Amino acid sequence: MTMQLARERARKLKADVIRFCERDMPADLLDKSRRHQVLHKDDYVRWMQLLHGQGWAVAHWPSELGGLGWSPLERFAFEDQLARLGCPWIIPFGVKYVGPVIYTYGSAAQKQRFLPRIATTEDFWAQGYSEPGAGSDLASLRTAAVRDGDHYVVNGQKVWTTYAQWADWMFCLVRTDREARPQSGISFLLVDMRSPGVTVKPIPTMDGYTHVNEVWLENVRVPLENLVGEEGAGWTYAKFLLKNERTAGAIVGMAWHALHRLKELAAEVGPDGKRPIDQPLLRNRIGEFELSFLALEEAAYQAVEAMMTGAENGGEASLIKIRGTELYQEIAQATVEVLGPAGIAWDVEALHSGGLPPLGPSDAGGILKDHFYNRAATIFGGASEIQRNIIAKGVLGL
């Protein structure tokens, strides 16, 4: 596909997404999502199945597996546009993370067994990478898988496992060889969350919600057939997955959405009869965001194109992650400040029930919740510091 064609298709797709959002998106779901209310498992499953109905949930997969032959540019534009419209997050663990690992490295039986149910979100997946002792230094992970006949016996603890409380399956990095170099002793294992010995304990976070969990694994028996690819090659698959994790169009769309909302709020006439956006200091601050957004958007799309043509230098995914998340956080902070008293009033119950916040516009509570949650955006998926290490070492050779 030529780049010209890919760009045209991405443009058309964005228009299709806008039309879908206007015509086919259930009003209650859209309202909840636009007000950044807490979404529950059934909301997400409904959302993912809506997308699947359009063919979009796995459109980036190969066509023989139900994909639409999307280029990375289309996938990026798609995530970007959905986020701009304030649609829910596309839960990535199945369709974006483990799905591609399975169809790239998995056995025929694994493809047959898992992929169709990933596409339809009949199975909900979680990502079991991080451990108490292995955060940024993921390769130091210690959860052990030891062979016993036709099973692995898994012991250890995962942490920060998003939506483990809902998951049917968890893809895990486990250590199968203690003697080898840290990276080469790791394997990629698919764990049934209903297996005996799996315990999920929630970790409440400051946004008043539970996304993340501890997952304890005690003598969990996992059939050998749930090993993906080769034993000891898990790190390779993890790196393959990581690239998909970091090249997220939603980062751009979220920054756009937040900036758009900030501009709306700042343009409302306040009790003093003035519009905040007419105050020179705020106007200047928003202008700087707008300028940073222009840089982010151009750099991100050109980075995706470079990755498609093989013209990349290796730092592109880090660039999108660092600049997107840092800009989003600054915008979110400014928005909370513009909300004034409504930016410090907090009603967790209302967030869960879809009710109204104590003060301010109907999305004030949700804006706060997202502001809290996204303090983690510069930590998960490779912290900003780690991204800078990657650039310094991998790209600049320092």
Ligand X SMILES: Cc1cc2nc3c(=O)[nH]c(=O)nc-3n(C[C@H](O)[C@H](O)[C@H](O)COP(=O)(O)OP(=O)(O)OC[C@H]3O[C@@H](n4cnc5c(N)ncnc54)[C@H](O)[C@@H]3O)c2cc1C
Which residues are known to be catalytic?
A: 245
Find which of ligand X, other proteins, none residue 303 binds, CB within 5 to 8 Å per kind.
other proteins
Cβ atoms 130, 93 nearer than 8 A: no
Which of other proteins, ligand X, none is residue 129 near (CB under 5 to 8 Å by kind)? ligand X
Complex with other proteins: residue 230 or 288, whichever CB lies closer: 288
* Residue 386 lies near ligand X (rule: CB under 6 A): yes
Sign of CA dihedral 216, 219, 223, 224: positive
- By CB under 6 A, what part of segment 272-301 binds ligand X? none
DSSP 45-106: HHHHHHHHHTT-TTTTS-GGGT-----HHHHHHHHHHHHHTTPPP--HIIIIIIHHHHHHHS
* Residues 74 and 61 sit within 8 Å (Cβ to Cβ): no
> Shortest gap between Cβ of 384 and ligand X (angstroms)?
7
161 binds ligand X (CB under 6 A): yes
Strand partners, 174: 187
139 interacts with ligand X by CB under 6 A:
no
Name the residue with the smallest CB distance to ligand X: 135
Choose, by CB under 6 A, the member of 141, 317, 339, 383 that binds ligand X: 383
Shortest distance, CB of residue 255 to other proteins, whole angstroms? 14
Q: How far is the CB of 122 from ligand X (least distance, A)?
A: 20
Among residues 263, 330, 345, 380, the one that binds other proteins under rule CB under 8 A: 263
DSSP E strands: which ranges in the chain? Answer: 125-128, 144-148, 151-159, 169-175, 186-192, 198-205, 209-223, 227-228
Q: Judged by CB under 6 A, does residue 346 bind ligand X?
A: no
- Are 142 and 175 a contacting pair, CB within 8 Å? yes
36: left (phi over 0), alpha (psi -120 to 50) or beta: left
190 binds ligand X (CB under 6 A): no
Instruction: Return the number of the residue (29 or 376) whose C-beta is nearest ligand X.
Output: 376
Q: Please report, in angstroms and rounded to a whole number, the separation of the first and last CA atoms in the chain.
A: 36
Residue 385 engages ligand X in binding (rule: CB under 6 A): yes
Confirm if 349 and 365 have CB atoms less than 8 A apart.
no
- Residue 324 C-beta-side C-alpha neighbours within 13 Å: 31
Nearest distance in Å: CB 262, other proteins:
11
Q: Taking a C-beta distance cutoff of 8 angstroms, is the pair 181, 172 a contact? A: no
Do 297 and 349 form a contact (C-beta atoms < 8 A)? no
Q: Which is nearer to ligand X, 17 or 134 (CB)?
A: 134
- In the complex with other proteins, the residue whose CB is nearer, 225 or 298, is 298
Query: Is residue 139 a contact residue for other proteins (CB under 8 A)?
Result: no
**Interface residue with other proteins, options 14, 323, 369, 371 (CB under 8 A):** 323
Query: Which among 36, 38, 28 has a CA at the least distance from the CA of 352?
Result: 38
392 binds, among ligand X, other proteins, none (CB under 5 to 8 A by kind): other proteins
Taking CB under 8 A as the rule, which mask of x and - marks residues 278-317 in contact with other proteins? -----xx-xx--xxx-xxx-xx-xxx-----------xx-
Q: Which residues bind other proteins (CB under 8 A)?
A: 263, 277, 283-284, 286-287, 290-292, 294-296, 298-299, 301-303, 315-316, 319, 322-323, 385, 387-389, 391-393, 395-398
Q: Which residues bind ligand X (CB under 6 A)?
A: 127-130, 135-136, 160-162, 211-212, 376, 379-380, 383, 385-386, 389
